[in-house]
Structure 1
């Protein structure tokens, strides 16, 4: 059969764009459909605008610190609209870069929704159909809004970048990394922030000690965290949003942000009718090479829910390209993928948590917590945390966790060492850079506890 394309990609996020570009650059015919903006969640509604907001929210603290170092500095008022206009201008620029790169590679772009008619045919929103030897589902995900009365009174993360003003009083429901990051951002921008957390602690799934350290720091900064509390009633009244929690706490807010998880964008695509496995949340079932039960259909990124991180989707795209178009069977390696949570303070993690290490094998825990020099000089009380989990039998480092300024930058370098199989002895042989916070990674000599 003669197909219109060798590959048709549904979704113009980081993973879909990478797969399309690599395949087109190899000389194959590639089409790509995107119903929203090119760049996907990360560039348009996620990582990039969020990190720019993190930067903006950190300046009041930096200016206060400058005063302690002798500078005659004051912050003045924050101009949200000026910042927001600049933010959207930058997102427009980045979207243009994505489009130009696709054009340069020879990818044909369709700015409309696409669904599947059969294993080799996609139908565009205008009714036209395109055939392809291979179809890649890279549709990403979307924020989940709980199903309860008046849930539409709250916003989701997609809406944050379009607010007309910084709320004076804000409630964040949910305590994953998205909820915690936005709680810190809006607190830094001057909002009074509270959080409703259904569980006993924020940042479920991260190292218990590290996430506890972040929670303590957030509360010391003034963010109110209500644990064991879920919203039971939401009501618009007198121009405000009144929320009653399961613990009986009731309060009125200017803004309610739902940070209650995400769902794959796979609904209504025709996948199930073709025999593609999809669970109740919409996650697409694939094998280790990203192939579904229908041999011509593949999926990656948030649509398959393995690790919902932009760099992971990009790596999955490269593995897909090598497997399908270069004949090199390549499975994505999910081991020792570092992550950064851009809370204030930041948290960087790679490898096992203490809880995972304890369940896996006898483990030595090396940890230290101290006031970093820059903040200590200014009278600050916030502490940083450095932690290594080490196999007692092999001396190999199983996990590393950092909480403190620039933790994301540091954990990226640590991840390289762990990926190479570094041992505690390797770290011990490394001479420290002084005076830095990071030197603590190579100066912890005695374990604080042993897990067996």
Structure 2
């Protein structure tokens, strides 16, 4: 790969240095290289970042194992006789590592990076700024550049609570050598819900604790309610608004969490306590002060609409900014930041349509506004289709869930889509395309969709909304029958 020129001190001189090789860093480096910049991509560990090694890829692989266990247990309903499935967790983790390696080593992606002339420095160690235009790494690499893009990602937030060192993070949960008999999960957001759901499927007795009024607090309220109800039906204990944690204690059987609410003390004990209460930026090693880069009170790098930091020659993208800590958003951030390092008119980042989903069982996903948010600024029509009233879900025996469409009454534009149930994460992508394209709900209702499919649920919801709006009823109503 093409490299930069070296100065008299032996350090390479580049146009752009990208720190971090997760989704944001890869797109940023690729974009900068495509625009002709001499670009270096520096990563502390391996190519792919958290998404490949500690995030969506390993999580989805574990979730797939959970799905296979679930499906194997219903084979008898379809006339297939098998013995009771048994999970070999050690073999599963081997598969997780294999998949992560395959994703990391994708030849096509590496070829694209190479074709853009990007110099990749893997296993370089943590990078730190020496001055505003120079970084060095623990591995001895030293680079000078005109511009930088920070894509160092995020890390699990730690709590200043006595005994916190006795707890585990979601990363620890993915690397266990055996499935624990019991588990307490603190934090009912996306990460905590995934940990709780996956290990419940593996046979662990899980208690999920959420300090707020409901789990999945950023989701549509109907989504939170449906997922919590489904979790409880599997035997999981879900405790919302549980109070505040006082301390963690070691016990002969594991760890005890002591908490209180309204002056009443209580406790929960498990072989493993996993704390998943959010993220903070992974910037501790960067020495941002030397570069003049400011962070907010939560530790995230401050950026403007162009993803420029307080240092005019330094940009930031992805989780390190704390804006929307999602792979699709990181990819968009990387493209915007990489584009803005070029001497061309800057582009801005947008969060208008960011499909969000999680690989719990049942899955949940959203695109656009929640119903509560939409009602604040729009007169809306809401159409809901239950999964137990559609052909494909009945065929597959996956009848838990629903699809909700939120539509502006005046413009007929789709404002939001929320799905709970099988293949929710995939289904909502179609809605995201419709929202991004500015489609009217009656236009979506007229799109021919294969039968029987999960996507047909979305078409049916669109047809119902169109009928509520009394728009082209005769043509849109056909999808209601499927």
Global fold match (TM > 0.5): yes
Matched, 1:218 2:207: no
CA distance in 2, matches of 1:59, 1:364: 38
Q: Does 1:426 align with 2:443?
A: yes
Counterpart of 2:185 (choices 156, 172, 189) is: 172
Deviations 1:200-232 (A, max 9, x none): 111011101122111111111111101111433
Q: Distance in 2 between matches of 1:90 and 1:379?
A: 28
1:261-410, aligned counterparts within 5 Å?
261-325=278-342, 327-371=344-388, 373=391, 376=394, 383-410=400-427
Equivalent in the alignment of 1:107? 119
Contact 2:318/2:329 (8 A) holds in 1: yes
C-alpha distance in structure 2 between counterparts of 1:449 and 1:395, whole Å: 11
SS of residue matched to 1:15 = helix
Shift, 1:273, TM fit:
4.6
Q: Per the alignment, in what secondary structure is the counterpart of residue 443 of structure 1?
A: helix
Deviation at 1:27, TM superposition (A): 4.2
CA contact (8 A) 2:42 2:121 kept: yes
Q: Paired residue for 1:244?
A: 258
Residue by residue, what CA displacement relative to the aligned partner does 1:135-163 show, whole Å, maximum 9, x if unpaired? Answer: 11111000112111111111101222211
For residue 443 of structure 1, report the CA deviation from its aligned partner. 2.9
Aligned to 1:9: 18
Corresponding position: 1:197 with 2:210 = yes
The two structures have a TM-score, normalised by structure 1, of 0.92
Q: Can you give the 5+ residue segments of structure 2 that lack an aligned partner in the other structure?
A: 470-482
The residue correspondences of 1:106-145 to structure 2 (distance < 5 A) are: 106-109=118-121, 111-126=124-139, 129-145=142-158
Work out the number of aligned pairs and report it.
449
Per the normalisation by structure 2, the TM-score is 0.87
Deviation track 1:18-69 (CA, whole Å, cap 9, x = no partner) reads: 2223333444322232223321110011010000000001122201222111
Are positions 1:435 and 2:452 aligned together?
yes
Q: Distance in 2 between matches of 1:323 and 1:24?
A: 12
Q: Secondary structure at the match of 2:60?
A: helix
Question: What corresponds to 2:163 in structure 1?
Answer: 150
What's the counterpart of residue 19 of structure 1? 28
What's the CA shift for 1:387? Answer: 0.6
Contiguous gaps of at least 5 residues in structure 1: none
- SS of residue matched to 2:130: strand
Distance apart, 1:126 and its partner CA: 4.9
Superposition RMSD on alpha carbons, in Å? 2.5
Q: Structure 1: how far apart are the matches of 2:396 and 2:348?
A: 49
Aligned partner of 1:227 in structure 2 is 240
Displacement after TM superposition at 1:73 (Å):
2.2
* 1-structure distance, mates of 2:60, 2:276: 17
> Does residue 91 of structure 1 match 2:104?
no
Q: Deviations over 1:371-411 (max 9, x none)?
A: 2556657887x532111111111111110111110011111
Partner-residue secondary structure (3-state), 2:404:
strand
What per-residue deviation string (whole Å, max 9, x for no partner) do you get for residues 93-140 of structure 1? 333348944456441415121111222111222566321010111110
